Amino acid sequence: MLKYVIKRVLLSIVTLWLVSTITFTLMYLVPGGPFLSEKAPSAATLKAMNAKYGLDQPKIVQYKNYMVKAFFQGDLGPSLKQRGRTVNQIISRGFPVSARIGGLAILIALLIGIPLGSIAALNRGKWIDNVIIVFSTFGIAVPSFVVSVVLMVVLSVKLDLLPTYGLATPLHYIMPVLALSFYPASYISRLMRSSMLEVLGQDYMRTAKAKGLTQYVILFKHALRNAILPVVTYLGPLLAYTLTGSFIVEKIFTIPGLGSAFISSITDRDYPLIMGTTIFLAALIIVMNMLVDIAYKVIDPRIKLK
Amino acid sequence: MIDMKKPLSMQLDVSDFLPAGKEERQSLVVMRQSVSFWKDGLRRFRKNNIAMVSLAVIILVLIFAFIVPSFYPYTYEQQIRGSENLAPMQYSQQEIGLKAQGESVFPHFMGTDSLGRDTMIRLMMGSRVSLLVGIVASLMVLLIGSIYGAIAGYFGGKTDMIMMRVVDIIYTVPDILVIILLMVTLKFPLVNLANNMPGFDWINRIGVGLICIFIVFALLYWVGMARIVRSQILTLKEQEFVTAAKALGASNGRIIGKHLLTNCMGTLIVTTTLQIPSSIFTESFLSFIGIGVAAPMPSLGSMASQAIGGITSYPYRLLAPAIMISLIILSFNLIGDGLRDAFDPKLKN
Amino acid sequence: MMSENLLDIKNLRLSFFTPAGEVKALNDVSIKLEEGDVLGIVGESGSGKSVTAYSVMGLTAYPGRIVDGTIDFNGHKINDMSENDMRKIRGNEVSIIFQDPMTSLNPVYTIGNQIMEVILLHTNKTKKEATERAIELLRLVGINEPEKRLKQYPHELSGGMRQRVMIAIALACEPKLLIADEPTTALDVTIQAQILELMIELKNKIGMSIIMITHDLGIVANMCKKIAVMYAGKIVEYGSTDEIFYNPRHEYTKGLLRSIPKLTEKEHKKLVPIEGTPVDMLNPPAGCPFAPRCENCMKICMKQMPDYTVVTEGHYSACWLLQKEAVMQGGGRS
């Protein structure tokens, strides 16, 4: 077990290093540089900016400086466009907001998806199964921006039930969280259904019934524990989806989270911010994937001792 | 133990106790016809109503996106002065004037956008872009992934181990972030290339974003397919027909190409079909946030993005691309599901 | 002798109502079992042997249903019982062990958990007492280091050991009847012998009855007092082990016995399989289901289902050949 954890940690570090290096290479070594691609500033301004941001040093030195600062001091540098603010500040302002919405969305996706999928599997072929299948098939086909916009149009514009933008009150959370959880809830529901169907056909389910256990125990003790394993595996990609999905939701509902900061940084060409956010998000995804993989190994005893 | 039945001499005839011939016995046996794998799968697929309807939908969409524009009087970048912001089927002042003079003006079925471009043709072109991206990207994934996975699975041992380590690392890299990154950084040099070097101006037309999407798909997205193909190959290569082929002197390439991959064909088709909606999803997502095909070429995602501002006044401008994307993705998903049910009966519900 | 039968299945008909049609799995099956009996049910896949056994425990899988007949077990009317009442006797008065020990145990729970589960369910024992009983059971089935095993997971044990655990679970509440559905098919031959020996030993110790379901005649020869041969949802021949082996009176039974390779045969003698393929249960034929594969098939065999003919006391067979003489002589005794 320990061996596996170490192996995973090492792999994650390698990947993170790889991603940051790729990012750095792309950002700083591509000809044209971050400043030149804009309207060409005067030579003097250029010199001053280069000096301030350390861009006149050899690339390798820049690379080393950045990596050292980023990973050992946690300093992702100053923002280029938002004068006076550091990337760290921007991230720490925006991330908690995104995390709240994302976290709620994941929670709701699990709370809806797992029961729905199980119910569908238990009532296979009956009308409720068909309804759930249809619902979840639609859910994975409709992109999140479509859902967001439809929700906004219907609930906010036409019916005036919910506020359109911002996050002032708990009511404000409803639409963005719903929009973000739509796809994962459908996906988890389908995943749970097929997993549960497979588990229900297993021999040990027959053994459980032969022991005289009640339906309740058979379902929650024997079936669920086995059926939920694929869903645990999905948690990693789920997180990555939620992070990237938040870009859209935050843009549409005008939410000041990390996602919209990232999108703006792209249009603004704020390279340090782009880089810092990318590395931050990448690190988050990589670490969460690693934790989920380790958790899975813990939960499934078959793999524990390999 | 058993109830003794009525005396047997009642309805029986001595001639009944003559032996029955072999042919007579055979007539009792109803053998089911054996069908080839493909025919059997296609038959099952055809019975699947939902999948067939989805197939019909996709064919209609293909016609809509690829054939109709050739006959359409408007083009996607054509800006008609005076015809801005028309509602569906509405005519501008100028157009009314032209009609009064007896000229026929082709109606704007879905109105026009703020620059006077016909929304309908843009919808068609947008669909074309989405479909092209989806299909080409999926084919790339298929090609790279299946060859890589087949080699890893077939040769096994150290080759396999190294190849799969690489896969593991690539798998953990967050794809959307890399796409965005590439897009941001490659934009300038690629535009430079397009403007300054002869023969590269197609870059401008397609858009840097799209090129980045294809690059990233080629770099990152094939790993899922590789894993699937590898595990299939691992099981297949133990089977006897492989040993037989080897004994007959077939080269490794031939064995992989002819024998092994063809047996995976079912899985390959299903996985590729399901990759298409996923690619379209990614493309529309990126176009939506502004990184995708370059204007004026429309994409369903960018059309939706531009339409958000006018959502109260012109809701159809948003609904049209939104419904189109959902329809395309849904149909491909259902076709893929149908193919899987048809060709992989073990996975059947 | 009218002793109270432990199990009395009368004229059982059971069908599976599938989308493709009604699969008539059991056609008029009757079995009687007294306390202490060991009955072997022999037949090929699809003959209905497992379906018969499962119906005693109410384990018939959806979409199966009893269409006709009754099942009486230990004073209960099984086919009338509610699901609630059935649960009380499952694992308690009647238990079953399945064919594949690899997949019959839940992989995510410990052995101890799975044994104690059934003890705690049907008895009033405390957790501590249940643990002790579990250890005792593991010892009983011949597993060493029982305390350690309790904490292990199924994948840590070998196939033979897992089957012993299954037996331990089945015997935990000292059932009157143990149903064994091909318990050794998935095991190595040497382990097979051990498991069968264990079962006989336990039967003598606890005094329970066993129904042994198998396609292997070798197993029934050793273990069972009585044998029921099933084909296409019917019992085609029934009798004591000696009678069946030395005086088989159904062509199918004879075919089964012939197909066993014998050590004492001369070399180069060909194996004698039974020709043909099993019956399509969606459209069972009107006559004897074995007709297409029977060497001595007669015209009547294809038209009408044969009734049971008594061969000797306690031995009967459903075959027109047994009626042939009687009819040929013009309505003699039957």
**pTM for the full predicted model:** 0.79
CB–CB of C221/C212 below 8 Å?
no
List the strands of the sheet with C76-77, edge to edge: C21-33, C7-18, C64-73, C76-77
User: Chain C contacts of A202, Cβ < 8 Å?
Assistant: 103
pLDDT at A113: 93
Q: Mean pLDDT throughout B24-47?
A: 68
pLDDT digits (tens, 9 = 90+) for C77-102: 888 888 889 999 998 899 999 988 88
Confidence class of residue B9 from pLDDT cuts 50, 70 and 90? very low
Q: Which two tokens stand for residue A192?
A: 């749970």
- What are the distances in angstroms from CA B55 to CA A130, A131, B330? 21, 22, 11
What 3-state DSSP class applies to C236? strand
Alpha carbon distance A100, A255 (integer Å): 12
pLDDT at C1: 39
pLDDT at B104: 75
Which of residues B107 and C230 earns the better pLDDT score? C230
Q: Does C334 touch chain B (CB under 8 A)?
A: yes
Q: Pick the residue of B5, B10, B12 with the most C CBs within 10 A to test the interface with C by mutation.
A: B12
Does the pLDDT at position C268 exceed 70?
Answer: no
Q: Pick the residue of A26, A132, A145, A175 with the most B CBs within 10 A to test the interface with B by mutation.
A: A145
User: Do B2 and C291 lie within an 8 Å CB cutoff?
Assistant: no
How close C255 gets to chain A, by Cα (Å)? 32
pLDDT at C334: 41
pLDDT at B60: 92
Touching A: which chains, 3+ CB pairs < 8 A? B, C
**B/C interface, count of CB pairs below 8 Å:** 73
User: Chain C contacts of B13, Cβ < 8 Å?
Assistant: 300
pLDDT at C211: 93
List the strands of the sheet with C234-240, edge to edge: C94-97, C177-181, C209-214, C38-42, C226-231, C234-240, C315-317, C309-312
Alpha carbon distance B121, B190 (integer Å): 28
CB–CB of C22/C187 below 8 Å?
no
pLDDT at B249: 75
User: Chain A contacts of B189, Cβ < 8 Å?
Assistant: 30-32
User: Chain B contacts of C324, Cβ < 8 Å?
Assistant: 17
User: Do B29 and C276 lie within an 8 Å CB cutoff?
Assistant: yes
User: Do A145 and B285 lie within an 8 Å CB cutoff?
Assistant: yes
What is the DSSP secondary structure assignment for residue A57, as one 8-state letter? S
Q: Mean pLDDT throughout C151-168?
A: 90
User: Do A18 and B186 lie within an 8 Å CB cutoff?
Assistant: no
Q: Which two tokens stand for residue B88?
A: 């569906």
> Hey, what long-range contacts does A110-114 have (CB within 8 A, 24 or more apart)?
A110/A188, A110/A231, A112/A181, A112/A185, A112/A188, A112/A189, A113/A184, A113/A185, A113/A186, A113/A187, A113/A188, A113/A189, A113/A191, A113/A192, A113/A231, A114/A188, A114/A189, A114/A192, A114/A228, A114/A231
Confidence class of residue C223 from pLDDT cuts 50, 70 and 90? confident
User: Chain C contacts of B29, Cβ < 8 Å?
Assistant: 276-277, 292
Least confident of A94-98, A143-147, B99-103, C118-122: B99-103
Q: Mean pLDDT throughout C250-255?
A: 87
Could you report the average pLDDT of every consecutive run of 10 residues in chain A (306 residues)? 80 80 69 52 65 66 73 69 72 86 92 93 87 89 84 75 71 85 92 90 90 88 88 84 83 83 74 78 82 78 57
Confidence class of residue B6 from pLDDT cuts 50, 70 and 90? very low
Q: Mean pLDDT throughout B75-102?
A: 76
Closest CA to A275 of A75, A40, A5: A75
pLDDT above 70: percentage of residues in chain B: 80
| Pairing of β C94-97 and β C177-181 | parallel
Closest CA to C90 of A199, A197, A218: A218
pLDDT at A300: 76
- What are the distances in angstroms from CA A271 to CA A82, A278, C257, C271? 11, 10, 84, 80
How close B345 gets to chain C, by Cα (Å)? 16
Nearest to B9 among C238, C291, C331 (CB): C331
Alpha carbon distance C334, C71 (integer Å): 29
Touching C: which chains, 3+ CB pairs < 8 A? A, B
Mean pLDDT over each residue of chain B, to the nearest integer: 77
User: Do A23 and B169 lie within an 8 Å CB cutoff?
Assistant: no
Confidence class of residue C263 from pLDDT cuts 50, 70 and 90? low
Q: Mean pLDDT throughout B258-269?
A: 74
Confidence class of residue B348 from pLDDT cuts 50, 70 and 90? very low
pLDDT digits (tens, 9 = 90+) for C25-75: 888 898 888 888 899 999 887 788 889 989 999 888 878 888 889 999 988
Nearest to C292 among B13, B19, B29 (CB): B29
Does the pLDDT at position B13 exceed 70?
Answer: no
Mean pLDDT over each residue of chain C, to the nearest integer: 85
pLDDT at A303: 65
pLDDT digits (tens, 9 = 90+) for B163-205: 877 887 777 677 777 777 777 677 767 777 777 777 666 666 6
CB–CB of C214/C40 below 8 Å?
yes
